[in-house]
Structure 1
């Protein structure tokens, strides 16, 4: 039996470090998802749980606090973060809905997902995480880290990356106007 895929189980820490750690984990999982020698179905299920848990906990707990505490982080940055999460979730749904993992369609869908996630990570680290490091106190970041980690882990335990849940999240984002028509 192959080793289980490490999704991390943080319980505490600076929320900005925990989010950055997850970003590095996403990059590793996406590399595994592109690797045809991996169990790509297991990797996509693990990636789905990690990505959905990360984004849901971030939007629910982190963005609102950082928006209030860091004057450099405007409503535009937060809204753009929500839109990029929605686009990534939509691309993830496409990857999850594909039947096989050994097709050109799968490779193309993974490439699109990888590009969206890489763009979001870079932008979020520049426009949200970096300014928050300078203007949000360590105690607030530590308190937020414990809350974010607990919520993230709870969502993973619930199987939040299931295709049905991702469909629900994408449909909700579409109703909210977070997804473009293309």
Structure 2
């Protein structure tokens, strides 16, 4: 994945760190659509970054912002539901054989739609309040903790098809995805 090195910051303001990843997602989505790009490499990088990013948010950021009353439980749960929806669409993207099929193209558009919706809402309802209502000290500590968790997941090689399948299964079991859509192959 030399062409798609994922930055591994170790500290910073959590709001800026998350927004930096959001811009990287946009770049990777452009590559996933570009027929002249190494789409398979872009798909792997996108999957790894998406899983590491969202899992670190759910473990390190959302609960602490909620405990400090920067966001409420509804915002935390909605963010987790949107991560689950992105994971489900990511699974379809990873299941597409090759990168030159209609299934691949459709999967890119569906994951892009889900992710861009989430990014817009997260920046508005979670990051904006964090920027104005969380102390600089808290934002810096969250930055270190999020980076540490995210980087550990990246080092462990998160984002494989099997790992995303397990996450989607977990998301169904936790009620983050509607059960009427659950795949029948269990």
- Structure-2-length-normalised TM-score: 0.94
Distance (whole Å) between structure 1 residues aligned to residue 2 and residue 153 of structure 2: 22
Match of 1:50 in 2: 49
Match of 1:149 in 2: 147
* Unaligned segments of structure 2, at least 5 residues: 182-186
SS state at 1:21 partner: helix
C-alpha distance after superposition, 1:97-121 (max 9, x if no partner): 1111101111011000001000000
Match of 1:96 in 2: 94
Is 1:23 equivalent to 2:22 in the alignment?
A: yes
C-alpha distance after superposition, 1:76-134 (max 9, x if no partner): 11100000000000100110011111011110110000010000000000000001111
- Structure 2 counterpart of 1:176, from 171, 174, 177: 174
Distance (whole Å) between structure 1 residues aligned to residue 85 and residue 119 of structure 2: 13
C-alpha distance after superposition, 1:56-82 (max 9, x if no partner): 0000010011112234x2111110000
Is 1:166 equivalent to 2:146 in the alignment?
A: no
C-alpha displacement at 1:174, in angstroms? Answer: 0.5
Question: What are the equivalent positions in structure 2 for 1:43-122 lying under 5 Å apart?
Answer: 43-71=42-70, 73-122=71-120
C-alpha displacement at 1:31, in angstroms? Answer: 0.8
SS state at 2:100 partner: coil
Distance (whole Å) between structure 2 residues aligned to residue 177 and residue 119 of structure 1: 20
Q: Is the 8 A contact 1:69 1:135 kept in 2?
A: no
Distance (whole Å) between structure 2 residues aligned to residue 122 and residue 42 of structure 1: 26
Number of equivalent positions: 180
SS state at 2:3 partner: coil
Distance (whole Å) between structure 2 residues aligned to residue 47 and residue 59 of structure 1: 18
Higher-RCO chain (CA-CA 8 Å, sequence separation at least 6)? 1
Q: Is the 8 A contact 1:67 1:74 kept in 2?
A: yes
C-alpha displacement at 1:8, in angstroms? Answer: 1.0
Q: CA RMSD in A?
A: 1.1
Q: Is the 8 A contact 1:70 1:132 kept in 2?
A: no
